[in-house]
Amino acid sequence: MMSLVYGENDYAAQNVYNDKMIENNLKSIESMNNRVQIAEENLRKAKESGDTAVIEKAEAEWQTAIQNRNQLEEQSAQLLKDRYTAAINQISHQMEQKLTNNKGFGYLDTQWDLMKKQSNLYLDDINSAFAVKNTEYLYNQALNDVKGLKSQQQLKKVMSEQLEILKEKDKLTQYDVDRAQKVLEVEKARIALE
């Protein structure tokens, strides 16, 4: 309810609200203590009178006053707990804002996930070299399988272009390797149709 009224991160307003609630609750406890004292006094007088009906009525009023005071004390403890929780949340929020340049940990989590995803797209140096060699092997194998000088020359030209593209890439991705291999498949299909 508080976050709907003041906003989820308006801890200062929440603290003011909690302080007012605590202040009102303490006044209610003080008033209830007076009622308990009056009920105790009435119970003492009733016992002196000896009338059992009056004693039972005074005892019931005294017990009700005690129960009401206990409930108010429990509410007060909960309000204090809420006040300190809000203070801790405020400090945590302020630290989070300072640490993340007012962007929050959620933003940093998203950025971290994007960086991990992007880094997974790129091949490291060893995998990159292996992928280029493997693609070159596939092109050479296709060259050996092709009949005819003109077809071999066309395939060799495509092979040179594709391998050059792969070798010139600063950061090679699996997509680049797959693309070069698909170009080989397309070229082999074109040669087969001729």
Q: What is the C-alpha to C-alpha distance for residues 119 and 111, in angstroms, rounded to an integer?
A: 12
Token pair 């509410």: residue: 75
Q: With 60 as the cut, is the pLDDT of residue 193 above it?
A: yes
99, 36: one domain: yes
User: Is residue 59 situated within a structural domain?
Assistant: yes
Task: Write 34-41 long-range contacts (CB < 8 A, 24+).
Answer: 35/65, 35/68, 35/69, 36/62, 36/65, 36/66, 36/69, 38/65, 39/64, 39/65, 39/66
Q: With 70 as the cut, is the pLDDT of residue 150 above it?
A: yes
136, 186: one domain: yes
User: Is residue 117 situated within a structural domain?
Assistant: no
Structure tokens at 13: 């307003």
| DSSP assignment string, the chain | -HHHHH-TT-HHHHHHHHHHHHHHHHHHHHHHHHHHHHHHHHHHHHHHHT-HHHHHHHHHHHHHHHHHHHHHHHHHHHHHHHHHHHHHHHHHHHHHHHHTTTSHHHHHHHHHHHHHHHHHHB--HHHHHHHHHHHHHHHHHHHHH--SHHHHHHHHHHHHHHHHHHHH-SS-BHHHHHHHHHHHHHHHHHHHH-
Q: Which of 70, 103, 136 is the last residue of a domain?
A: 103
User: Is residue 48 situated within a structural domain?
Assistant: yes
Q: State how many domains the chain has.
A: 2
Most confident of 41-45, 117-121, 178-182: 178-182
10, 83: one domain: yes
Give the pLDDT score at 64: 93
User: Is residue 116 situated within a structural domain?
Assistant: no
Give the pLDDT score at 24: 92
All residues at 6 or more sequence positions from 129 whose CB lies less than 8 Å from its CB, including other chains? none
Reported as a pLDDT band with limits 50, 70 and 90, residue 7 is low
Reported as a pLDDT band with limits 50, 70 and 90, residue 156 is very high
Q: Between these two residues, 116 and 60, which has the higher pLDDT value?
A: 60
User: Is residue 113 situated within a structural domain?
Assistant: no
Give the pLDDT score at 3: 57
32, 85: one domain: yes
Give the pLDDT score at 72: 92
16, 93: one domain: yes
95, 142: one domain: no
Over the stretch 66-115, which tens digit does the pLDDT of each residue have?
A: 999 999 999 999 988 988 888 898 899 889 889 888 888 888 889 888 88
User: Is residue 115 situated within a structural domain?
Assistant: no
Domain that holds residue 175: 122-193
43, 85: one domain: yes
Q: What is the CA radius of gyration of the chain?
A: 41
User: Is residue 156 situated within a structural domain?
Assistant: yes
87, 166: one domain: no
Over the stretch 22-56, which tens digit does the pLDDT of each residue have?
A: 899 999 999 999 999 998 998 888 888 888 888 89
Over the stretch 125-137, which tens digit does the pLDDT of each residue have?
A: 888 899 999 999 9
